[in-house]
Amino acid sequence: MANQDDLFKNIISHSKEYGFIFPSSEIYDGLSAVYDYGQYGAELKKNIREYWWKAMVQLNENIVGIDAAIFMHPTTWKASGHVDAFSDPLIDNKDSKKRYRADVLIEDAMTKFEDKINKEVEKAAKRFGETFDAAMYRTTNPRVMEYQKKIDDTNARFKTALENNDMDGLKQIIVDLEVVCPVSGSRNWTEVRQFNLMFSTQLGSVAEDSNTIYLRPETAQGIFVNFLNVQKTGRMKIPFGIAQTGKAFRNEIVARQFIFRMREFEQMEMQFFIRPGTENEWYEKWKATRMNWHKALGIPESKYRFHDHLKLAHYAKAACDIEFEFPFGFKELEGIHSRSDFDLKQHEQFSGKKLQYFDPELNESYVPFVIETSIGLDRMFLATMSYAYKEEKLEDGSERVVLNLPPFLAPIKAAILPLVNKDGLPEKAEEIINILKFEHIITSEEKDSIGKRYRRQDAIGTPYCITVDHQTLTDNTVTIRERDTMKQERVAIDQLSKIIGEKVSMNNVLRKL
């Protein structure tokens, strides 16, 4: 079995080898942190998006979906706070020319001190045996206390520097901690500077400042600015939601984790507009609802956990992440945020337009509060892939790689395989495809031995392989092989549609929500 690092590497190479994800413009050596979805990736991604859309929009009468433009009026991003505050502190190493996030370097350095403390405690535990009191040791051992003091002091300086936007302060912490570049091993650092993560471009042909616009760094603002349009034209009554999926762009400083952190990615966001004062109730409700959506996929619950944000944005009432256990550890997959009336109020102020709702029950107008759920489609893709990818040893000693994708998400639902490429079997296979293709994405394959073709479909995650043989020509039956159990059964062709339909039904999953 591969270790976690190898596992992640294997998932990346599998994704490429089997047509799920390619580096962007690969013939030119790719573009950093930008990826293209191939023939199977595009299907899987579309199915995940559809699962989200149906769960949000189709199953909830009070949630509607929109499709706002990527370009927005530049003032949008002043109002949202992105022009002033959507930035990360960056630092370069002059020898390796590698760029880092200063905050991440500092956090990593502190983790090293924590590791040192844990090692000391482990050593002592071995030495002292059963009578060892770890808590006592941590507060009395001079070396541990020294490390702990370093962590506490650094944390305090770090917090102050971040709060005051003090880039020199951050640099000084890096110097004092004697942080070295992992690539060059040197301490030859540039100054720290703030780096805004938004991509900008020009609208029209005249390159003046006023024409600078941004590629949206999140889809949410397209929802906020359309709040009244949708509410009025859709006669929406509070509480109601607006959902949207679409591309977002961030010029991430460090983007080295495949599709976990991309510069161009897709978000699936929903803003739920509520009466002020009901935010705690709705926050809890959306936390539970979103977790259920994940659980209905059949991925073990132990792979998910909530992580509450300790440091909240000044406008936020509460915020948490749903974290997923990726091969590189538990990391944010989705954010759930109680955002008060911050965004709508900001847009009121910057646009001079009222963004209020008249509540007929209360007989008063107010700016609604918002609960937001925001998930990255690509991250969800990676979560699904990391769970599904299995290297299995079979009973006969052979090995196979299989993608145990939830069948309703699988890119191809069934592969029709003529046993031999003659005797009228390919034509019979074609007949079956012509029946099934109106309901599902079906493929056929004629090359290689049947065993090899099964393995290939396992690697793509196809739930069923259907083999057409000579008997098929006489009695219209085929063998159907199930991906996970590898069990084979002989069934009549006219049963196929029902068998496959049951197995890959998205509705059956939606009914569990």
Residue 334 is a binding residue for ligand ATP (CB under 6 A): yes
Minimum CB–partner distance for residue 290 and ligand ATP (Å): 11
Pair 170, 189: CB distance under 8 Å: no
Give the list of residues 6+ apart from residue 205 with CB closer than 8 angstroms, or none: none
Tokens of 165: 């936007």
Residue 41 is a binding residue for ligand ATP (CB under 6 A): no
Pair 352, 365: CB distance under 8 Å: no
Residue 375 is a binding residue for ligand ATP (CB under 6 A): yes
Alpha carbon distances (Å) from 223 to 151, 264, 481: 42, 19, 46
The binder of ligand ATP chosen from 55, 173, 213, 333 (CB under 6 A): 333
Residue 462 is a binding residue for ligand ATP (CB under 6 A): no
Pair 109, 179: CB distance under 8 Å: yes
Q: Which CB, 315 or 366, lies closer to ligand ATP?
A: 315
Residue 224 is a binding residue for ligand ATP (CB under 6 A): no
d(CA 11, CA 22): 12
Residue 386 is a binding residue for ligand ATP (CB under 6 A): no
Q: How do beta strands 414-418 and 442-444 pair?
A: parallel
315, with CB counted inside 10 A (0-12, 13-18, 19+), is middle
Minimum CB–partner distance for residue 391 and ligand ATP (Å): 26
Residue 379 is a binding residue for ligand ATP (CB under 6 A): yes
Pair 267, 377: CB distance under 8 Å: yes
Pair 171, 91: CB distance under 8 Å: yes
DSSP 68: -
Q: Which CB, 121 or 255, lies closer to ligand ATP?
A: 255
Segment interacting with ligand ATP (CB under 6 A) among 90-98, 327-335, 353-361, 504-512: 327-335
Alpha carbon distances (Å) from 63 to 157, 313, 358, 473: 45, 26, 18, 51
Residue 287 is a binding residue for ligand ATP (CB under 6 A): no
Q: Which CB, 251 or 497, lies closer to ligand ATP?
A: 251
Q: Which CB, 192 or 375, lies closer to ligand ATP?
A: 375
The binder of ligand ATP chosen from 261, 347, 413, 453 (CB under 6 A): 261
The binder of ligand ATP chosen from 108, 284, 323, 332 (CB under 6 A): 332
The binder of ligand ATP chosen from 327, 335, 368, 463 (CB under 6 A): 335
Residue 378 is a binding residue for ligand ATP (CB under 6 A): yes
Tokens of 295: 């659980």
- Three-state DSSP class for residue 311: coil
Segment interacting with ligand ATP (CB under 6 A) among 51-59, 201-209, 370-378, 496-504: 370-378
Residue 262 is a binding residue for ligand ATP (CB under 6 A): yes
Contact residues for ligand ATP, defined by CB under 6 A: 218, 250, 252, 261-262, 265, 267, 332-335, 374-376, 378-379
